[in-house]
Amino acid sequence: MFKSIYIYSILLAALVFSTFQCIVADKQSVIYAKDYGFGASKDCSSASIRMIEAAREKNSTKIIIERGTYHFYPDKAFEKYCNITNHDDGIRYTPFPIIDFSDIEIEADSAEFIFHGIILPFIIDNSENVKLSGFSIDWEVPLYSQVKVIATDESNHTFDIEIDQASPYGIRNGELIFFKEGYEHNLERAICWNPETMAVAYNTWAVTPLTLGEPAVVRFLDTLEYQPSNGIGTLLQGSWFPLRELQNCLIAEELQPGVVRLSGQKKELPRKGIMIVSKGQNGINRLAPAIHIRNAKDVVISEVTVHHAGGMGLVAERSENIFLNHFNVALKNGSGRMLTTTADATHFNNCRGLIRISDCLFENMLDDAANIHGVYGIVEDIIDTRTLGILMGHFQQLGFDFVAPGDQIGFIEEGTSFFPFANSEVSSIQKINGTYYIIKFNEAFDPAVKKGILLDNLDWYPEVEFVNNIVRNNRARGLLINTRKKTTCEGNYFSPMDEAISFHFNFGGDWYESGFSDEVIIRNNFFADCSYAGRERAVINFSGDESQDTFIFKKIVIENNKFKTFDPFLMNPVKVDTLIVRNNSISKSNTYPGLFTENPAFRITQVNFSLFSGNKVEDYEPGDIIIADSISLKKLHQDSNSWKSQ
């Protein structure tokens, strides 16, 4: 009897252990890309879709993609209509639709993903606990073009360009057109690049953007009573509606195959040897970001490199907790390309929780390294005491998930204050179309709310950590930061063509981007030759609309940084309650001639309390150090600064 009990116990234990192993195995299920045909065909999109669908059937799935080069085309990829913030909307195709997932990891072994045409590599939508690692993203044919200036003629104000055989082109009614895989573009949105430095050319704004002129004939335009909003105009016209009156003035004439002469340039001529990079007409040139994150939570991306994308490297909206580590937007060695992404490296709109960007390389983009902000809605209709009709202000904010039930909305009067005069909690939202929403609140909103009032979602701003990154050789700026939470910017290297750090607060402007920085720490960074493209920007630059606010920024600390620059203009704080500038070193580089040498090192305006302490000029005398207005002079304190070179 005891023997039977013993045998039964052993069998029962074995059954329990086997069951436990099955449970663990199910929780740790692994899918291998090779089992789904990865690499077996020219186009891996179908294989990827099958793999993602298999992962959907399991819980806590890990996908492993072996080392190799894999090509993806849109023909067999997953189709989805995408409203992508700060991009052009429409049907997009993706081989990696990470949609409605929880706990999924894609780990590749230094795999190369090569994309073709208008395609969106990764969509992460309505998902949580997503991890991506170990691969690169590139396009076989980039969604921009670069040409070399080989001759100039000052007397006739023309210049000749050389076009590589890898860049098919045509001339249509005198306009130069570049042909891509399923796409084409003209010479709009062009910028000069220096192949010697692999950076944006010094003082490029003297040459670019290349000219768009007034139309030859316009008649009776004032008889059109209905002028669509930016958003609706885009939907109806298929391009940026405000540009409808402009015409191409840069006339192309082929001299021989691969050599084209351009006339009609209104600005300075580019110098011989310069590369001109262009991505085409605004409104139809941000079509293919590399990674789109929307309504997601806890996303970790590491050891991923974006060599190119026809838009941003990563764009995230209404998502919570995003961690980027060794997420690089970088040139591919030996590619001969001047450009990586045709817009920002990273962009975050109405996110919250923590955004941490660490140990990343961002180079040669056509826009910023990181732009973090919210978005304003605009009151269009007062439907009743609890219900508003609102518009989205910019054509690339159509369909944006601006609010959800439970969100706290602040009402802001443009031109008066960046701080809300009243708050209300959202009860429901109805999207009538991409640009017009109906929002109902739990209680009656403030009677001061009227048409034109701006709405700011107060619940969706993140804390930001931008740490140990390299930003270099890109058009526009480094870090744009507009969040009501704390920001830490530490241990970075900055050398963009415009300002390194931008506090660009405004009420509406072109983009209707909302927010401003509350508490910011900027320390242990190296600022090297910023703002060299010809626009008058401080290295740490404040710019925005006028308001009646006494102060906007609560506290900004700028400490232990090194500035090495050819122009003296380091920062221009405005409307700051407490400003601490201490233990920074300032030295002059001889990389470029000065552009705006009349500026001081620091221009402070409407600063309540400022302390400049322990700062040192190492090897040059920059002239005026601090220029302050009467408000700032009242509590401006200096201690142990060495403003003269020793």
DSSP secondary structure letters along 93-139: EESEEEES-EEEEEEEEEEEEEE-SS--SEEEES-EEEEEEEEEEEE
Report the alpha-carbon distance of residue 644 to residue 601 in Å, rounded: 13
Tokens for 416, please give them.
Answer: 């008066």
Residues 383 and 349 in one domain: no
pLDDT of residue 645: 65
Report the alpha-carbon distance of residue 394 to residue 234 in Å, rounded: 10
What's the pLDDT tens digit per position in 9-56?
444 444 444 444 444 444 569 999 999 999 889 999 999 999 999 999
Domain boundary among 329, 363, 397: 363
Residues in the chain predicted with pLDDT less than 70, given as ranges, are 1-28, 227-245, 622, 645-646
Kindly state whether residue 221 falls inside one of the protein's structural domains.
no
Tokens for 94, please give them.
Answer: 């993706």
Residues 381 and 446 in one domain: yes
Range of the domain at 203: 145-211+249-278
Tokens for 258, please give them.
Answer: 């691969």
Report the alpha-carbon distance of residue 392 to residue 399 in Å, rounded: 8
What's the pLDDT tens digit per position in 137-184?
999 999 999 999 999 999 999 999 999 999 999 999 999 999 999 999
Find residue 320's DSSP bridge partners.
297, 352
Residues 479 and 618 in one domain: yes
Residues 258 and 132 in one domain: no
DSSP 10: H
SS (H, E, C) 476-526: CCCEEECCCCCEEEECCEEECCCCCEEEEECCCCCCCEECCCCEEEEECCE
Tally of domains within the chain:
4
Q: pTM above the 0.75 mark?
A: yes
As a whole-number percent, the residues of the chain with pLDDT over 70 amount to 92
Residues 493 and 627 in one domain: yes
Kindly state whether residue 260 falls inside one of the protein's structural domains.
yes
Kindly state whether residue 548 falls inside one of the protein's structural domains.
yes
Tokens for 512, please give them.
Answer: 């209707």
Domain boundary among 363, 383, 398: 363
At 290, give phi and psi (nearest 5°). -80, -45
Residues 510 and 600 in one domain: yes
Domain boundary among 427, 457, 487: 457
Residues 100 and 162 in one domain: no
372: nearest Cα among 484, 449, 260, 226:
484
Q: CA dihedral in degrees (110, 116, 117, 120; nearest 10)? A: -30
Residues 442 and 500 in one domain: no
Kindly state whether residue 300 falls inside one of the protein's structural domains.
yes
Residues 175 and 81 in one domain: no
pLDDT of residue 244: 52
Residues 259 and 381 in one domain: no
Residues 604 and 535 in one domain: yes
Report the alpha-carbon distance of residue 472 to residue 607 in Å, rounded: 31
Residues 396 and 515 in one domain: no
* Other beta carbons within 10 Å of 5: 9
CATH of the domain at 435: 2.40.30.10
pLDDT of residue 510: 74
pLDDT of residue 248: 84
Report the alpha-carbon distance of residue 338 to residue 124 in Å, rounded: 29
C-alpha distances (whole Å) from 285 to each of 113, 118, 184, 239, 297 are 22, 11, 9, 10, 29
C-alpha distances (whole Å) from 338 to each of 341, 367, 497, 532 are 10, 13, 14, 17
pLDDT of residue 436: 93
Kindly state whether residue 433 falls inside one of the protein's structural domains.
yes
Find residue 358's DSSP bridge partners.
325, 467
Kindly state whether residue 243 falls inside one of the protein's structural domains.
no
Burial of 102 (0-12, 13-18, 19+ CB in 10 A): middle
As a whole-number percent, the residues of the chain with pLDDT over 90 amount to 82
Q: Would you call 554 helix, strand, or coil by DSSP? A: strand
Kindly state whether residue 581 falls inside one of the protein's structural domains.
yes
> 600 near 623, Cβ under 8 Å?
yes
At 215, give phi and psi (nearest 5°). -70, 155
Find residue 1's DSSP bridge partners.
none
C-alpha distances (whole Å) from 303 to each of 168, 362, 408, 464 are 34, 13, 36, 20
Kindly state whether residue 644 falls inside one of the protein's structural domains.
no
